[in-house]
Amino acid sequence: MDENQRQITADDILKDINKRQKLKKTAKVDILDLEELKEYQRRKRTEYESVLKVKRLDIGQWMRYAQFEIEQHDIRRARSIFERALQINSSYVPLWIRYIDSEVKSKNINHARNILNRATTVLPRIEKFWFKYVMIEESLNNIPIVRSLFVRWCSLEPSINAWDAFVAFEIRHKEYENVRKIYSRYVMVHPTLDTWQKWIDFETKHGDTQTIRYVYSLALDTVSTFDATPEEDIVELIRSFALWEANKHELERASALFKIASSRWPHCTELENSRVEFEKMFGHSTSVEESILAKRRRGYEKQLKENPRDYDTWWLYLDLIQQYFPLDLIDAFEKSVSGNEPIEEIKSLQWKRYIYLWIRYLLHLELHEDDVDGTRNLYLKLINGVIPHKKFSFSKIWLMYCQFELRQENLNAARKILGQSLGICPKSKTYKKYIELEIELKEFDRVRKLYEHYLNFQPENVNIWISYAELEENLGDEERSRGIYEIALSDEVGLSNTDKFSLFNRYITFEVDAEEYAKARMLYQRFLLSSNYAAAVWINWAIFESSVPTESHLIQKNNRELESDEEEELEFEITDDNRKNSRGVFENALTYFKGNKDKESRKSVLKAYENYESIHGSAESLQRIKARLPEVVKRKKIEGNVEKEYLDYIFPDDKPVTNTSNSKILALAKKWKEDRTGINAN
């Protein structure tokens, strides 16, 4: 395209306007007399004013204009420009700072003071103005004015920087009483541990013992009243106070401080650790620790006496006894489980917590006390006298009892325990454990009987059927395994459709592993019937046909085995027969769904067919399948007097085939008829 014919864009227009608005750079001119200076000043002022007419809100341009007047030593004009700029934007901090600095450099202190006063009034939260204000006044040695400025500033409750600056100012002038007054307000505005610590450090350097103790006491009383104060800060303050008292040889005061704090915060672990550490430093750790532990024990015992079924507290109580009073542990265990069973007649959370106390007692007695007979008697007491088996039971206890007897090498006793458990309260967990035990012992006849009882207990559990069939498969009894699958699929068992789906898949896998491919195909036919001809089953069948050897493969394998008299592993490769079989299944599925007008399933099969051809087919076969994929269209229908949109599929296979030659003949005949009608009319 020619340059003159290029389309002008919005960016080109904006760039051109921007170029025209920029001030042209002027060459450096030497000014030789007053008239030239005035002419130069007039021209520059005209340029600045012209630009400001367009960029009135550009504060930087105003500041450059004012700086020009300052360079011309015309502070009156510069002041006027600053004031005009402030009328436009009075919240722009750099503008105020430039204005103040220009007055200070010109030694117009009163003007600078007035501007600072205005700035702190308009923008009282800008600390930079206050710092500059007090710095200028203090440099002029106006101490009362500086103090009044700090008082005015701190009345706004500023950040800690302002308070620290006020404190530093008074310390420089040795007004320590004023510092204390400042800190009394400072800690109220910022009641943090760091603030109190600053006051304490000040009193440590400039105060005496009484003032330091007063500040510590006031800090502790104040901080403890705030609910939002972190517990770590309180503990740190108490630790610091106690160490200070100890350094002043006031050990009784320090101990009393920890004692009072412990009663105020009895559950604070950090506080207790600090107290123990303090007592260790000054030789009283043993007595204090013993008193703390005894107090905790008495507290737990009192609470358990009031509510003997508070199992969480029993657990904490046992932790304390086990760690610090091991000689009393067995007695504590007996108390925790004797006569404290829940009153509920259902299996609840309270019962579970109670049983876990028994489990802790049993494990301690066996593993730590090595009391085999006592542990056995405890199991018998729990099973026969505590757990209400007629209402509910705990399979965990039965399994633990079985494991205990196995550790004592009492196999018959372990079997009796599991059998008793299954007789009283059969549970899946118990059946599984019993079956695992007999499998490890290779007692497969017992395992079969257990599986039969297990299936009578839960015949609707498909995992049991599959596990039983897999067991027989692993033992090499294919007929028995096949019989289990057949029984599970019968209507008498009544498995759900989802479970039958899983069972058919596992049954087919079994037949494939057994190289019974014809039986696997028959299973697929039954699978289709059972699943109401689901699309997923059709797809799995089609893929199956390309994953198993064909008749030619099997004949080839048999010939090789006859020649070598040895079993030879078949190297499987997908052949044209495999592809033919898979495509035949796909086509049958498409024919079925087309006849039943099931467009969703038909589309799913076509997508799977496409994926199959992309992997195992050729470019031509893949293209043929792609040409058969449906076209998605939006349609509308009326449901309940409401018009709704839905997606419909138009399959190319469903479109009628038109004869092109017949269409042309019909068109020519129609044209001839129209021409004849026109001639007759004439």
pLDDT in tens, 359-388: 999 999 999 999 999 999 999 999 998 988
Residue 332 domain flag: no
Distance CA 662, CA 45 (A): 92
Distance CA 296, CA 277 (A): 18
pLDDT above 90 as % of the chain: 28
- Per-residue confidence (pLDDT) for residue 254, from 0 to 100: 77
- Per-residue confidence (pLDDT) for residue 401, from 0 to 100: 92
**Mean pLDDT: which of 16-30, 442-456, 490-504 is highest?**
442-456
Is the pLDDT assigned to residue 462 strictly greater than 60? yes
- Per-residue confidence (pLDDT) for residue 3, from 0 to 100: 47
Q: How confident is the model at residue 467 (pLDDT cuts 50, 70, 90)?
A: very high
Distance CA 543, CA 552 (A): 19
If DSSP codes are grouped into helix, strand and coil, which group holds residue 648? strand
Domain extent at residue 578: 533-681
**Mean pLDDT: which of 282-291, 430-439, 542-551 is highest?**
430-439
266 Cβ partners below 8 Å, 6+ apart? none
- Per-residue confidence (pLDDT) for residue 647, from 0 to 100: 83
If DSSP codes are grouped into helix, strand and coil, which group holds residue 650? strand
- Per-residue confidence (pLDDT) for residue 55, from 0 to 100: 81
Residue 235 domain flag: no
Is the pLDDT assigned to residue 394 strictly greater than 80? yes
> What are the φ/ψ torsions at residue 649 (nearest 5 degrees)?
-120, 135
Residue 674 domain flag: yes
Contact 79, 86 (CB under 8 A): no
Is the pLDDT assigned to residue 621 strictly greater than 80? yes
pLDDT above 70 as % of the chain: 84
- Per-residue confidence (pLDDT) for residue 23, from 0 to 100: 47
For range 614-634, the mean pLDDT: 88
Stronger pLDDT, 554 or 103, i.e. the higher one: 103
Residue 633 domain flag: yes
- Per-residue confidence (pLDDT) for residue 361, from 0 to 100: 94
- Per-residue confidence (pLDDT) for residue 415, from 0 to 100: 93
Which residue, 539, 543, 537, is CA-closest to 523?
A: 537
Residue 505 domain flag: no
Residue 638 domain flag: yes
pLDDT in tens, 515-551: 888 899 999 999 999 888 999 999 999 999 888 887 6
Residue 604 domain flag: yes
pLDDT in tens, 566-586: 555 555 678 888 888 999 999
Is the pLDDT assigned to residue 421 strictly greater than 60? yes
Distance CA 247, CA 249 (A): 5
Average pLDDT of the chain is 83
Is the pLDDT assigned to residue 226 strictly greater than 50? yes
Distance CA 143, CA 309 (A): 72
If DSSP codes are grouped into helix, strand and coil, which group holds residue 26? coil
Residue 116 domain flag: no
For range 262-270, the mean pLDDT: 68
Question: Structural domain tally of the chain?
Answer: 1
Is the pLDDT assigned to residue 631 strictly greater than 50? yes
Q: Quote the Cα angle for 589-593-595, to 5°.
A: 120
For range 322-351, the mean pLDDT: 89
